[in-house]
Amino acid sequence: MTHEEHHAAKTLGVGKAIAVLTSGGDAQGMNAAVRAVVRVGIYTGARVFFVHEGYQGLVDGGDNIREATWESVSMMLQLGGTVIGSARCRDFREREGRLRAAHNLVKRGITNLCVIGGDGSLTGADTFRSEWSDLLSDLQKSGKITAEEAAKSRYLNIVGLVGSIDNDFCGTDMTIGTDSALHRIIEIVDAITTTAQSHQRTFVLEVMGRHCGYLALVTSLSCGADWVFIPECPPDDDWEDHLCRRLSETRNRGSRLNIIIVAEGAIDKNGKPISSEDIKNLVVKRLGYDTRVTVLGHVQRGGTPSAFDRILGSRMGVEAVMALLEGTPDTPACVVSLSGNQAVRLPLMECVQVTKDVTKAMDERRFDEALKLRGRSFMNNWEVYKLLAHVRPPVSKSGSYTVAVMNVGAPAAGMNAAVRSTVRIGLIQGNRVLVVHDGFEGLAKGQIEEAGWSYVGGWTGQGGSKLGTKRTLPKKSFEQISANITKFNIQGLVVIGGFEAYTGGLELMEGRKQYDELCIPFVVIPATVSNNVPGSDFSVGTDTALNTICMTCDRIKQSAAGTKRRVFIIETMGGYCGYLATMAGLAAGADAAYIFEEPFTIRDLQVNVEHLVQKMKTTVKRGLVLRNEKCNENYTTDFIFNLYSEEGKGIFDSRKNVLGHMQQGGSPTPFDRNFATKMGAKAMNWMSGKIKESYRNGRIFANTPDSGCVLGMRKRALVFQPVTELKEQTDFEHRIPKEQWWLKLRPILKILAKYEIDLDTSEHAHFEHVSRKRSGEATV
């Protein structure tokens, strides 16, 4: 980025004013977005105004529209709901109300509006924009505004951010609040599971989602539910028989509980509602099971936002300010959204239209079309759910393959979910599935057993690695490994693990030259808290670790806010990879995050100390600094702590905290459960195809580079990449990929912490169209 461009970002907003409002139902993470809009707006030189109570505040004006300051959004990040309030507003639906709203904006010189809300709120904003010039001429005629004021406010720019826990907005992979709502639901499902097992009960859980089954669908994938009812895919006409058969089968396999998830908008093929009470009565009448209904209600909107929603809100807030300030009278109102991990801008009305089309398709009972319009990500969820929940595993294993599953590296939450779906999809395909204990070491020692359907029952929500996992690499035990591959007739290997799983894969490729037995297809599913496996933007387990760090930082910030003038230095895991430190820094509102990938000197440390000294003069008298464990061998956590303690004497005192192995533990988050489940299913499908391809003269012989892959999430899709091809992209000494996508988020971290740095706006979110998006959407 040139100096001129940087200067442009810093002065982009000079003389402009932005108003931010939250409207419609609240969603966790809205505050993160408001905070980012305010701080980035101020950074660009713009004035930023809060509009309290949504559109109602815009209509009523007065004290509802107040200028925001840097400090006024401090400590907002970890709060749920919306701090500036939201209200359903009748007045704004009438032209008279919009006239008053326009008057309030013109008088304050505000021509940029950032609306955070659901599709109703965003449609309202678009109407407002299309009428703007008429409203202005009316105001001028009635003498409410001068010709000069009207000229200054010639056009109105609008950018929308979708905040809705339902994830019901087409064109966006994830809306702000969805992930947090899933966190709330899963906490409850986990709690209910324990009591249901004690009493052998059936639980019917009703989750929110009047027109959209996303929450219900992902919940059922994340907890291994027996059945899910969603509005987009009504069950077949004989669903009552099918459901009862399914529940009794599960019981007969030895399970002590049944879980049925119902979206509040669930319907049958004729559009008749299916309520949780109906389902309970059916189960009690037909099967006599002890059945309970739990309606989750507004719990789902509550609580603190998850790390994902804070980062999503913050990134979208930054992007919204850029979209507003770069807007011209000709750019259509847009929605800022995330696709995979890319920020995109989409025309607001196109998104609203597709969202309306879904509802219309459902009203007209064109359910297949409704499903397609929801996008590929939704359809993939549905396909995996149907596979895991509705197909009966074949009884005979004849004509099948033998696939082994193992964990390698350090434990990561979600490993068990990946093993479960790999095993079950394997069994559904009619294969024999073996599980290997303790990684490559267990493969060498023959710690191998066959897994049946119920072997992995209830594994989705369990943290750590039930199979046992070790960092040992295979090379030194190729003899024994080859012997066991022959002994157990292993024809394919699914390796779930971290950097060692990948380097182990490379060793297996090398070993193929000497040992024919190693010529079997294998696939690596990245699972590590460090997120350092080449070939994937995300690893299973990283999201859980991020949330653990976030929760701890929240508590530490609270303690610091109580004592005042205190700076905390927190050391995170990650080896040489700075992902956890950077993302936790964004999500917890840190002042600095020291990482290996971005070298820092004593001067940088001095700048950070000076920054904190200045900060102590404001109303925000606390600091939070994150340090990745291996960011610098000399500037250790102790060194940084001592430096801060010395330099801060009399101004602030310092404390340090090493988070350690708690980052590897805990129950997996909904993201990790869902991601792991899909990766397992995708890997096993690939495996069957590859084994079939490699079948020669009665045995498996796989010797091509593409028979040893890493399955990774890249931008918007899950892709298989040969391990040998990923070699060039790897820094083996530091066990990290040479290029990492999240490094470009680091400037946001610094701007939100008030550093005078360059915001690289050259990494533009491009304007896309919705119709095109649906075919190339993220498959996760």
Summarize the annotated binding site for substrate as residue ranges.
164-166, 201, 208-210, 264, 292, 298-301
Q: Which amino acid belongs to residue 242?
A: H
Using CA atoms, how far apart are residues 337 and 343, in angstroms rounded to an integer? 6
* CA 46 to each of CA 14, 111, 658: distance values in angstroms, whole numbers, following the listed order: 5, 11, 39
Annotated binding-site residues for Mg(2+) read 119
Q: Which amino acid belongs to residue 121?
A: S
Q: Residue by residue, what is the 3-state secondary structure of 103-170?
A: HHHHHHCCCEEEEEECHHHHHHHHHHHHHHHHHHHHHHHCCCCCHHHHHHCCCCEEEEEEECCCCCCC
Cβ neighbours of residue 371 closer than 8 Å, sequence gap 6 or more: 232, 233, 378, 379, 382
- Residue 47 bridge partners (DSSP): 17
Using CA atoms, how far apart are residues 587 and 624, in angstroms rounded to an integer? 12
Annotated binding-site residues read 25, 88-89, 118-121, 164-166, 201, 208-210, 264, 292, 298-301, 471, 528-532, 566, 573-575, 629, 655, 661-664, 735
Contact assessment for residue 33 and residue 161, using Cβ atoms and an 8 Å cutoff = yes
Name the token pair of 142: 């009635």
Name the token pair of 665: 């533990």
Which DSSP string corresponds to 726-750? HGGGEETTTTEES--GGGGGHHHHH
Element (H, E) at 428: helix 415-428
Using CA atoms, how far apart are residues 265 and 508, in angstroms rounded to an integer? 50
Annotated binding-site residues for beta-D-fructose 2,6-bisphosphate read 471, 528-532, 566, 573-575, 629, 655, 661-664, 735
**Smallest Cα–Cα separation from 460: which of 220, 181, 293?**
220
Beta-sheet strands, E only, within 633-703: 653-658, 695-696, 699-700
- Residue carrying the six token digits 């060194």: 639
Using CA atoms, how far apart are residues 337 and 167, in angstroms rounded to an integer? 12
Q: Which amino acid belongs to residue 276?
A: S
**Smallest Cα–Cα separation from 184: which of 77, 298, 289?**
298
Element (H, E) at 433: strand 432-436
Cβ neighbours of residue 763 closer than 8 Å, sequence gap 6 or more: 744
What's the Rg (C-alpha) of the chain?
27
User: For this structure, is 166 an active site residue?
Assistant: yes
Using CA atoms, how far apart are residues 18 and 109, in angstroms rounded to an integer? 9
**Smallest Cα–Cα separation from 298: which of 188, 183, 177, 181?**
181
- Residue 699 bridge partners (DSSP): 696
Name the token pair of 183: 């966190």
* CA 15 to each of CA 47, 248, 327, 541: distance values in angstroms, whole numbers, following the listed order: 8, 68, 15, 45
Using CA atoms, how far apart are residues 67 and 48, in angstroms rounded to an integer? 6
Q: Residue by residue, what is the 3-state secondary structure of 569-612?
A: EEEECCCCCCHHHHHHHHHHCCCEEECCCCCCCHHHHHHHHHHH
Cβ neighbours of residue 760 closer than 8 Å, sequence gap 6 or more: 1, 6, 744, 747
Name the token pair of 201: 């009960």
**Local structure of 23: helix, strand or coil:** coil
Which entry of 60, 166, 537, 672 is annotated as an active-site residue? 166
Contact assessment for residue 395 and residue 409, using Cβ atoms and an 8 Å cutoff = no
**Local structure of 17: helix, strand or coil:** strand
- Residue 273 bridge partners (DSSP): 267
**Smallest Cα–Cα separation from 590: which of 549, 562, 631?**
549
DSSP 8-state code for residue 467: T
Annotated binding-site residues for ATP read 25, 88-89, 118-121
Residue 743: is it exposed, middle or buried by C-beta count within 10 angstroms (0-12/13-18/19+)?
middle
Using CA atoms, how far apart are residues 37 and 726, in angstroms rounded to an integer? 38
Query: Mind telling me the catalytic residues?
Result: 166
